Chain A
């Protein structure tokens, strides 16, 4: 008798489709990385493996400075975004208007990057003017330079951009957490902070650290908002885009793109592998706990 459940081709076809899609999506990235290791660059007939372009990038003072700025931007964004996302996720668990709350939290994702960037640019320009006027009116210099384009405005732009992602990642981890454990900690004498730090945080820290990784990657990858809001410094992405627009793709550009892609894939890959391993562990634990409870 024909057994539909035993047909291996259904599964095989699904996997083939999935792999084909992933391959198609990632092909240009791997192609770019491949070129970045070719001494003769793009379009050459000969492929000669080299780290030369990477050596050039890391020896270029301007690029190293832009890498540093990107790192500072990522760290400042993490410092602000992660606690905000954590609070938002905790608030979400308590609120009864969950759909409205999620819609509100995710709304920045629905605004295109250039629109969000230019809106913030106009907003900060006017805000800076407002503060300058306030300073002049009061006859004090305290407000000079407030919200002039620079590191602070770039960080604010990044926070608006990365907050929804961090919120979602933390929320997913938090969904496994049982609020009874916080109540049990409170019943043991813990105050709200102790209950969070001792009991809840150890169980959601994977989500928090994943969010940190995610925010770092987004900070390295983001170009449009930063370009509009950064003022007098350049990030790595800005440098790459500027190079591409002004002098076209060089071996150096491929190496820059390669650095960003490789670092992103390593970070994301680590997070995914760790999450899968942890999910498996939690699943095993949940299965053990779900065993029928018998008299002992």
Chain B
């Protein structure tokens, strides 16, 4: 019987302190080989620290890091099977594009002819054919990041670390580069670990996403799961455009909990959740699932409906956000496609009803 292939990355109770400041608290997770993995979270949450620990640029204060089953916790970056793309300023400004890309191969003492071939092939792969003689300052931001990619990929390492690689690019270029990165990863088939604070970027590129905040791994799952069915309240608040309402558990059944939110009792699916009556809890519902109707209109029986007052709409280009106020003063957002015309018939101050499919709400205990 063959052993199952070792995980590309396995992080066990990894921690990092800077004096009395804790940047990362005992984080554990693993990444399958060949996966595009995103570390997503707010700035200062510890995701770059985690990436730098995996890359060997920081010494862990606690825990261990295994790359393909080997403990590399205390090895320097040049002795790990990783390469890295930095946010910016990482090209060697005194070297041409060609010399930048060839640098790692020279260190490996690859014959000069092979270096030239591999550099040309890699520059073609990232769409920079013929840029060999250019200096880094003669390239645009997107081209510089592509050179960084080529420099990392040419080494044919197993794991590529990307530290906010698109953060300094304009919105359009960022979008294009996201797709390009995804395609590249599928082509080369190695493990990509991508740090970003931009949820759209993470959702575009990643097979799996880990949410990192306050030095902790909040939640981890496939991009779709993290977006559509977040387990933690933080995830719901951070990813997508979720409405979060709080209440007290007033009733329990086998697969659902009833939350008393003051002006209504809401049934929320709670399969396998351990919770007691009287406990405080919250639920989230994505803004694109909310619908607004007139107070006396019929909405499907399978929907939860609460009374509200229409406040205003905010045009966002692709979508329009409709703001309504619940009886306790909480404001919630219902988002629809701009050209759908949905919800557009209400005026500020109108009494309305707001509803959502009962089975799509997510219960959050903390």
Contact = CB atoms under 8 A, between A and B. Distances in A.
A249 B92 CA distance: 55
A285 B137 contact: yes
A187 B93 contact: no
A250 interface: no
Interface string A187-219: 111111010001100110000000000000000
B140 interface: yes
Given A186-B57, A187-B83, A296-B142, A180 B173 contact: no
A289 B83 contact: no
A60 interface: no
A94 to B, nearest CB: 13
A186 B76 contact: yes
Nearest to B136: A289
A277 interface: no
Interface in A254-296: 285, 288-289, 292-296
A187 B143 contact: no
Interface in A156-211: 178, 180-181, 183-192, 194, 198-199, 202-203
A184 B78 contact: no
Given A293-B170, A293-B173, A185 B82 contact: no
Contacts of A186: 56-57, 76-78
Contacts of A181: 89-93
Given A288-B137, A293-B170, A295-B176, A188 B89 contact: no
Size bracket of the B interface = 35 or more
Contact of B138 (A198, A288, A293): A288
Interface in B135-179: 137-138, 140-143, 148, 151-152, 155, 161, 168-170, 172-173, 176
B137 A194 contact: no
B103 interface: yes
A180 B89 contact: yes
Contacts of B88: 180
A188 B103 CA distance: 7
Contacts of B57: 183, 186
Contacts of B53: none
A294 B140 contact: yes
A199 B140 CA distance: 21
A184 B84 contact: yes
B247 interface: no
B143 A296 contact: yes
A221 B276 CA distance: 85
A11 B140 CA distance: 38
Interface in B293-307: none
Nearest to B175: A295
A187 B83 CA distance: 5
Nearest to A198: B103
A178 B86 CA distance: 12
A199 B104 CA distance: 12
A293 B55 contact: no
B108 interface: yes
Contacts of A293: 140-142, 168-170, 173
B173 A294 contact: yes
B142 A295 contact: yes
A178 B87 CA distance: 12
B133 interface: no
Interface string B70-101: 00000011100011101111111110000000
A97 to B, nearest CB: 12
B20 to A, nearest CB: 13
B55 A187 contact: yes
Given A289-B137, A293-B168, A296-B140, A189 B94 contact: no
Interface of A: 178, 180-181, 183-192, 194, 198-199, 202-203, 285, 288-289, 292-296
Given A183-B77, A184-B84, A184-B86, 6 more contacts: A180-B90, A185-B103, A186-B76, A189-B104, A293-B170, A295-B176
15 contacts: A178-B89, A178-B90, A180-B87, A180-B88, A180-B90, A186-B76, A187-B78, A187-B152, A189-B104, A203-B93, A285-B137, A288-B137, A293-B169, A293-B173, A296-B173
What 4 A-B pairs are tightest by C-beta distance, nearest first?
A293-B141, A188-B104, A187-B84, A186-B77
